Structure 1
């Protein structure tokens, strides 16, 4: 069973707000990960592939995927060249939100909170496809309130969260079936395999065999569609995982290098410096000592998503 980095609420939630919202630009080499909190991932723009656990589905603008703690997932843009962005609004629900609801003063009963409490307890991912911009409307209001960052606005987030939960929870009982279409590019499977098995020895020949072409033809296809070679993509994937591990774990640099499948430390240091512009130690120190908000910290990781 594969183990993927865990994004932890300890680092991502920097205030008493019940929710943290972050817009991210998904790339061909985005990192597969899991969380210790519930995440609502809304497709703001573009089309792509979403891998959640063992399930693979096509997603498009207006889709919301609900990802519970412990379920690994990653978004992959349909356009491999990077010219048609896949933008995801990550709505992360504070791990302590259930307790915060029970302590919340006001006229609301436990029954009023029930859809939101059920959302916080989901064990399996599920999807909701909006019908008339109803999710977009709610999320824009939530973003505006969170950006103001006043206690009054934080309190006003709760009714919107309840409304959102009431809207999407019925979809938890309905399969989200949207299989990739006839225009699906098999290179997605190859790159997703590399993202999922980044720590293993992955050879060019093995990857070309996955789509039944020669190594030379595979290299040519990859270069034409992504603008990068096989080794460039693999190195970028491993460097992104290194950045995540530096941020969300206390592993030493040598352990991180081994974790991402690189056994030559000089080679690892060279790749990391070329990729980030600094040493692994400087990267970790810069994040931990200078960034205090989820937006800044995740943006620094997404620096690794050029």
Structure 2
């Protein structure tokens, strides 16, 4: 099992807001990661697979997955070709929010704060499937407040947050049992294995054996369903992990290369430049010196458009 990168609130929260919202499009090479904060991941569009720890489940539009600190996870689109996007609205709750909430001035009673405090204390992931777009409504309210410009009174964000926590916390004691169905493509397991073991020397033969097909058949299957070869996909996975490590750690460039399983530095520099359009050092300096917002930072990892 790999030690997966940790997304930290120090980088992702660029104000004193208790919440940060981020819409992401997940791909077949999205990075498996952890956070040091609680995240509510809401499926806005599409269907897919969610891997959290050792648990794998089917997710559909209207599902919200609550991911506590220290649980590694990744979303994987059902459609491997990229024509049917899997869009996730990430609602991230600031680290230390529990302490802020307990000292929050105003008329909120202890009973009213309790569901959100319990949400901030969860240690195991759980899921909630909305019934009538009630989660979408509350997240829309939060998004509207955050998009309206600098908040003069950030306490306005707490009522919808409290309402959201009250709505989903009962699901913490109910197993989320939506397992992949009979239409599940075993190619997901191969790709998720590559994502989860990105620094290992994974060979084409090993991956083809997982599907009980020849290497040639595996290459043809992968190309038909994703439009890319095995090596192209594996290189992209490693480059995305490299971007995350450059953003969220202080590792030197050589250490980053070794961390993702590449030992030839000339090869690493060439791959990174082809992927991002710049050197690793320039990539890190540009993002850190301009302090990109969470949206810009995560977009740069998925698309290298910065």
Instruction: Please report the TM-score for the alignment, with normalisation by the length of structure 2.
Output: 0.98
Aligned-partner SS, 1:22: strand
Match of 1:106 in 2: 106
| Structure 1 portions without partners, runs of 5+ | none
Deviation at 1:303, TM superposition (A): 2.0
Contact 1:240 1:304 in 2 (8 A): no
Match of 2:137 in 1: 137
| Structure 2 portions without partners, runs of 5+ | none
The list of structure 1 runs, each at least 4 consecutive aligned residues, that deviate by more than 4 angstroms after superposition, is none
Distance 1:263 1:150 in 2: 46
Match of 1:289 in 2: 289
Contact 1:145 1:153 in 2 (8 A): no
Contact 1:53 1:71 in 2 (8 A): yes
Match of 1:20 in 2: 20
Contact 1:146 1:154 in 2 (8 A): no
Kindly report which structure 2 residues correspond to 1:180-195, keeping only aligned pairs within 5 A, or say none: 180-195=180-195
Whether 1:214 and 2:214 are equivalent positions in the alignment is: yes
Whether 1:79 and 2:56 are equivalent positions in the alignment is: no
Contact 1:146 1:153 in 2 (8 A): no
Match of 1:68 in 2: 68
Q: What is the alpha-carbon root mean square deviation over aligned residues?
A: 1.1
Distance 2:89 2:159 in 1: 20
Distance 1:3 1:171 in 2: 29
Moved more, 103-112 or 9-18: 103-112
Cα distance, 1:191–1:222 mapped onto 2, change above 3 Å: same
Distance 1:149 1:127 in 2: 31
Match of 2:227 in 1: 227
Match of 2:157 in 1: 157
Distance 2:205 2:221 in 1: 14
Deviation at 1:292, TM superposition (A): 3.6
Instruction: Please report the TM-score for the alignment, with normalisation by the length of structure 1.
Output: 0.98
Aligned-partner SS, 2:59: strand
